[in-house]
Amino acid sequence: MITAQIPKGFRDFLPEKMAVRQKIISQMIAVFESFGFDPLDTPCLEYAETLEGKYGEEGEKLIYRFEDRGGRMVALRYDLTIPLSRVIAMHPTITKPFKRYQIAPVWRADKPQKGRFREFYQCDIDIVGCDSAYADAELIIITFEVLHTLGFQSFNMRINNRKVLNAFAKKSGIADEAIALFLRALDKLDKIGPDGVMQEMRTNSIVPGKEQEKKILQMLHAETTLDDIAEYVRGVLEGDEGISEMHSILSSLAAHGVPAENYQFDLSLARGLDYYTGPIFETVVREPSIGSITGGGRYDNLIGLYTKQPVAATGTSFGLERLVTVLEETGKENRQYTKTQVLITVFDSTLMNNNLIIAKNLRQAGIHTEVYFSQHKLKKQLTYASNRSIPIVLILGPDELQEKKITLRNMQKGLQETIPHDDLIKAVKKHLA
RNA sequence: GUGGGUGUAGCUCAGUUGGUUAGAGCACCAGGUUGUGGCCCUGGGGGUCGAGGGUUCAAAUCCCUUCACUCACCCCA
């Protein structure tokens, strides 16, 4: 027996859901294109080895992988960044810097919960073949523009840099093998506080001594500024580079007029994916508590894994479902989802051809028109229009036909008028205005 | 992957210490109104009580298994 279900963490999108999604997507694309980004698409399926070994230990477990009929190991894409890197490696002659956007589903074999699905849409923007920190800054500026356009009020874009983090770890005497653990502990600062982070570092025994512990704790406090960190890592080449990138980014954001309350340097931002090499960033919203709604960073070494020539790249990603969830919970969703503007009701089949001609004329005038096909009672036809929030209903029965007139009912106002045939388009437009 | 919570009508949920034909509101359908949605009135349809097994004279209720949903952790968009 077939049970009418779909796999856990997957979803159907009914028209009202699609309306919100499409609105977000079209506004987002407008912003992307205004910054010179072009669309690019890649297949859902990749060879497993293309994806493996890129995301780190935790990410690796979440890849949907399986054997196809030919015995090849394949995998559903886990994000849009790795497939893009593969494309760049396969097409080395593509003009750079290459700016692209992509809005497409990705799959993660995660346990679903609020704002977290096994299939979800990422909206990615990437700049390939440019190592300037201004490229990273532009991604953050676009993030702000998109969220601002969508009507988001309180959001916080956290910015950090892997080079600074590495230098921070090095100065604190953390061994190279322990850096992943160090970053993971650091990432929990929000949740468990400085002492909690230190506790976790102690249990993993990654800090060599008391002196280093004291230094780290000092850096974890909220008052710590970028200058304090710069002072701490001074002399480590990587650290100095990272600090200078941070200055470029922060000044760039200020120059673009991004409000200071919407972004900040945050030493505790680590990001889980292994492939980041430079600036990293993510956006969080306070309510609903849903984790991050965007995230990204620089991945200069990734493309080099597929080809001999390394290519610098940076990118960021919006979680479409999470954007929808936030907009819904803050009450910005749009209830009237149909695009239909006019419904033509029918009395009996002899009048149907007449209705079809009127519908054709309305459509030619750019009006979205739907014809009711079944000879249901008028009451039922009006209920249908009402349930779908169709604003205008045309009624043409024997009475109207005789006088060459049409009854136009404005469903929102509950008013109706009978007008001559020739005035129809003008009248409809008047009611829609 | 680890640990809680919840599964009863299309939806949101009641259902007493196990006790006869399992209820309500909303939604749906029909009529009141033979050419008029929303408000009101009347009536109606709809349930293998998530699934499988067990205990019992008797199970929505107790026990076991399993599936699904949900929340937290891990991690992340």
What local confidence, expressed as pLDDT, does residue A335 receive? 53
CB A319 within 8 A of CB A134: no
Q: Are residues A289 and A370 in the same domain?
A: no
Residues 260-299 of A with CB under 7 A from strand B: 271-273, 282, 289, 291-295
Please choose, from the candidates A154, A109, A151, A157, the residue with its C-alpha nearest in 3D space to the C-alpha of residue A324.
Answer: A151
Nearest-angstrom CA–CA distance, A79 and A124: 9
Protein residue nearest nucleotide B68, by CA to C1': A8
Q: Give A113 CA → B55 C1' in Å.
A: 36
A416, A268: one domain: no
Per the document, the length of chain A is 433
Minimum-distance residue to B2 (CA–C1')? A111
Q: For chain B, which bases have at least one atom within 7 A of a protein Cβ?
A: 1-3, 28-31, 33, 35-38, 68-77
Non-local CB neighbours of A110 within 8 Å, separated by 6+ positions:
A9, A62, A116, A118
Q: Is A238 within a domain?
A: no
ipTM value: 0.82
Instruction: Compute the distance between CA of residue A115 and CA of residue A422 in angstroms, rounded to an integer.
Output: 52
Q: Answer yes or no: do A283 and A151 share one domain.
A: yes
Number of domains in chain A: 2
Residues 361-400 of A with CB under 7 A from strand B: 377-380, 382-383, 385-387, 395-400
Asked, for residue A120, whether it belongs to a domain, the answer is yes
Which among A129, A107, A117, A4 has a CA at the least distance from the CA of A62? A107
The C-alpha atoms of residue A328 and residue A322 are separated, in whole angstroms, by 10
With respect to residue A236, please indicate whether it lies within any of the assigned structural domains: no
Q: Can you give the pLDDT at residue A2? A: 43
- Please identify, among A329, A352, A375, the residue that sits at the C-terminal boundary of a domain: A329
A264 and A393 housed in the same domain: no
**Which nucleotide has the shortest C1'-to-CA distance from A200?**
B74
- Classify residue A156 as exposed, middle or buried by CB count within 10 Å of its CB (0-12, 13-18, 19+): middle
Is residue A222 one of the residues assigned to a domain?
no
Are A319 and A348 contained in the same domain?
no
Residue A282 contacts residue A261 (beta carbons within 8 Å): no
Q: What is the CATH number of the domain that holds A349?
A: 3.40.50.800
Encode burial over A78-111: b for 16+ CB neighbours within 10 A, e otherwise: bbbbbbbbbbbbeeeeeeeebbbbbbbebbbeee
Where in the sequence is the domain holding A362, given as residue range(s)? 342-432
User: DSSP 3-state assignment of A255?
Assistant: helix
Report the pLDDT value the prediction gives residue A332, as an integer from 0 to 100: 54
Q: Is residue A335 part of a domain?
A: no
A65: CB partners within 8 A, 6+ apart = A48, A51, A73, A74, A75, A76
* CB A311, CB A81: distance < 8 Å: no
A148 vs A405: CA distance, rounded Å:
48
CA–C1' A408–B40 (A): 26
Residue A219 lies in a domain: no
- Dist. CA A35–CA A258, nearest whole Å: 16
pLDDT by position in tens, chain A (length 433): 345 666 777 777 777 778 788 889 999 999 999 999 999 999 999 999 999 888 887 788 888 888 888 889 999 999 999 999 999 999 999 999 999 999 999 998 888 887 888 888 999 999 999 999 999 999 999 999 999 998 887 899 999 999 999 999 998 888 888 888 888 888 888 888 888 888 888 888 778 888 888 888 888 887 788 999 999 999 899 999 999 999 999 999 999 999 999 999 999 998 877 889 999 999 998 767 677 899 999 999 999 999 888 899 999 999 998 888 888 776 655 455 688 999 999 988 888 999 999 999 999 999 999 999 988 899 999 999 998 889 999 999 888 988 899 999 999 888 999 999 999 999 999 999 8
Are A308 and A407 in the same domain?
no
**C1' nearest to CA of A391: which nucleotide?**
B37
Chain A 51-90 residues in 7 Å CB range of strand B: 56, 58-59, 62, 79
* CA distance linking residue A210 with residue A63, whole number of Å: 40
Residue A33 beta carbon within 7 A of nucleic strand B: no
> In Å, what is the CA distance from A65 to each residue of A48, A52, A107, A122, A393?
7, 10, 10, 19, 52
Within A 167-196, residues with CB less than 7 Å from strand B: 184, 187-188, 191
State, as a whole number of angstroms, the distance between the CA of A26 and the C1' of B4: 41
Domain boundary among A301, A329, A357: A329
Cα A370 to chain centroid distance, Å, stands at 33
Domain closes at, from A329, A363, A388: A329
Give residue A1's pLDDT.
37
**A87 plus A25 within the same structural domain:** yes
A354 in a domain, yes or no?
yes
Is A350 within 8 Å of A413 (Cβ atoms)?
A: no
* pLDDT reported for residue A111: 82
Kindly state the tokens that stand for A6: 């779909």
A200 CA, B25 C1': separation in Å?
52
Can you tell me the distance from the alpha carbon of A288 to that of A284, in angstroms, rounded to the nearest whole number? 10
Give the distance, in angstroms, between residue A150 CA and nucleotide B19 C1': 59
Q: Could you tell me if A164 and A246 are in contact, meaning their C-beta atoms sit under 8 angstroms apart? A: yes
Nucleotide nearest to A316 (CA to C1'): B77
A355 and A322 within one domain: no
Do A81 and A152 lie in a common domain?
Answer: yes
- My answer on whether A139 and A24 are in the same domain is yes
Distance CA A286, CA A295 (A): 16
Nearest to A100 by CA among A82, A127, A122: A127
CB-strand contact A414/B, under 7 Å? yes
User: Could you give the CA distance from residue A243 to residue A171 in angstroms, rounded to a whole number?
Assistant: 15
Q: Quick one: A269 and A405 in the same domain?
A: no
* Per-residue pLDDT, A407: 95
Cα A371 from Cα A342, distance rounded (Å): 8
Encoded amino acid at A26, one letter = S
Q: How far is CA A269 from CA A160, A198, A358, in A?
A: 6, 16, 61
Residues A138 and A26 in one domain: yes
Q: Please report whether residue A22 resides in a domain.
A: yes
- Give me the CATH number covering residue A278: 3.30.930.10
